Amino acid sequence: MSKPLSIGVAGLGTVGAGVLKLLAQNGDIVAARAGRPVTVGAVSARTRGRDRGVTLDGLRWHDDPVALAADPGVDVVVELIGGSGGPARALVEAAIAAGKPVVTANKALLAVHGAAIAEMAEGRGVPLAFEAAVAGGIPAIKGLREGLAANRLMRVAGILNGTCNYILTTMREQGREFGDVLAEAQALGYAEADPSFDIDGVDAAHKLAILAALAFGRPVDFDAVHVEGIREITAMDIAFAGELGYRIKLLGIAGRDEAGISARVHPCMVPVAAPIARVDGVFNAVVAEGDFVGRVMLEGRGAGAGPTASAVVADLIDIARGRHTPVWGGALDVAPAVPMERHRGAYYLRLMVLDRPGVIADVTGILRDGAISLESMLQRGRAPGEAVPVVLTTHDCEEAAMRAALDRIAALDAVLEKPALIRIEAL
């Protein structure tokens, strides 16, 4: 067997400790599949004394993670620090400058600085691997970049954040409100103390920016992703979705057509019969559509020590074998980004209105003026002079027209609160 591949691991949190555990427990399997042993030579983390459930005996310790790039005993740098800048970016750039392959699970770094880092890596001929950056243990990166390499991809989409999927699933199953379920998710460790990155859609958008770059052969462009989260989803909307034959999911969706490439993250109503509608709890799913393969869906755990460590070590095996794929899959496309205002689709609207004559006529008149066609309407019960919910679904129309109509509807004196809008997606 060849000389062992010695790695340096920066960041010994959940994922970093998971990588060390996996290599210790499955070292024989990894060596057989890599063609040589993969060993940990050096590590770096913020604190030395913390119990991580793994032994660090015999490993070189660097207080400064960037020092791993200069360690002569490190063949590959594994960056598991996180964050879009700071020591994570400094380490990755130093490792590439030193000609050392990099494996990272850092979606924020790649989403924000991926174009520059990829250019640097390819200019130096250095492998940059990031399977663990999107959807944890699901082989989404390999699936797009290798398994579907013969296809022209039209769309890639998915449930890319387990925290949001857990919250929406629990709200649906238990009829509870968002704030209550979020607090429970934090208590169970499914949501961070500051959950903003998750519930506001930023984490999913980081991942979608990477998937879109891979699917369409374009530089990663986080700024082009339209982002909405799930804070405004209510138990009432989830119940109405069920009546209409839908489930609400936070989806990341990127597509390509003759106008260019669109990328968006927002809550969607998907038909209950769609496979992705049945992906519940903390699970993730990635759907890709190719011209020859058709539609493919991968499902699994999108986070956690085991699944993410599995993806990290899969990249290490590729590097040990000398398998090196261009970062974004080859020549880059310069197709323009399509703004959200140009999106066409169907919509769910929920209004809380005073129950009085003429309200529905006013609302439908505004939609008519915007050339927006109604598909259905739900109104439950009568309560003259009081607030009642009215639910409308539309046929396909342009986002800009829907937004303009919604502004006019919200300004009606009979509309008592901000209208709820959820896009309908037939995945």
pLDDT digits (tens, 9 = 90+) for 154-195: 999 999 999 999 999 999 999 999 999 999 999 988 888 899
CA distance 250 to 283: 12
CA distance 184 to 226: 28
Cβ(251)–Cβ(427) under 8 Å? yes
Q: Which two tokens stand for residue 39?
A: 């060993």
Nearest Cα to Cα of residue 351 among 394, 317, 292, 321: 394
pLDDT values of the chain reduced to their tens digit, one per residue, 427 residues: 589 999 999 999 999 999 999 999 999 999 999 999 999 999 999 988 788 889 899 999 999 999 999 999 999 999 999 999 899 999 999 999 999 999 999 999 999 999 999 999 999 999 999 999 999 899 999 999 999 999 999 999 999 999 999 999 999 999 999 999 999 999 988 888 899 999 999 999 999 999 999 999 888 899 999 999 999 999 999 999 999 999 999 999 999 999 999 999 999 999 999 999 999 999 999 999 999 999 999 999 988 899 999 999 999 999 999 988 877 665 566 789 999 999 999 999 999 999 888 999 999 999 999 999 999 999 876 777 788 999 999 999 999 999 999 999 999 999 999 999 999 998 8
Residue type for 191, please? A
Torsion from C-alpha of 92, 45, 130, 73, nearest 10 degrees: 70
Q: Which domains does the chain have, with CATH numbers?
A: 5-133 (3.40.50.720), 140-301 (3.30.360.10), 341-424 (3.30.70.260)
Q: What angle do CA 76, 19, 84 make, to 5 degrees?
A: 70
How much is the pTM? 0.94
Q: Which two tokens stand for residue 199?
A: 């519930």
Cβ(194)–Cβ(243) under 8 Å? no
Q: Which two tokens stand for residue 169?
A: 């699933």
Q: What is the largest CA-CA distance in the chain?
A: 83
CA distance 36 to 271: 48
Look up 207 and say whether it is catalytic.
Answer: yes
| Catalytic residue selected from 100, 107, 142, 207 | 207
> pLDDT tens digits, residue range 316-353?
999 999 988 877 665 566 789 999 999 999 999 999 99
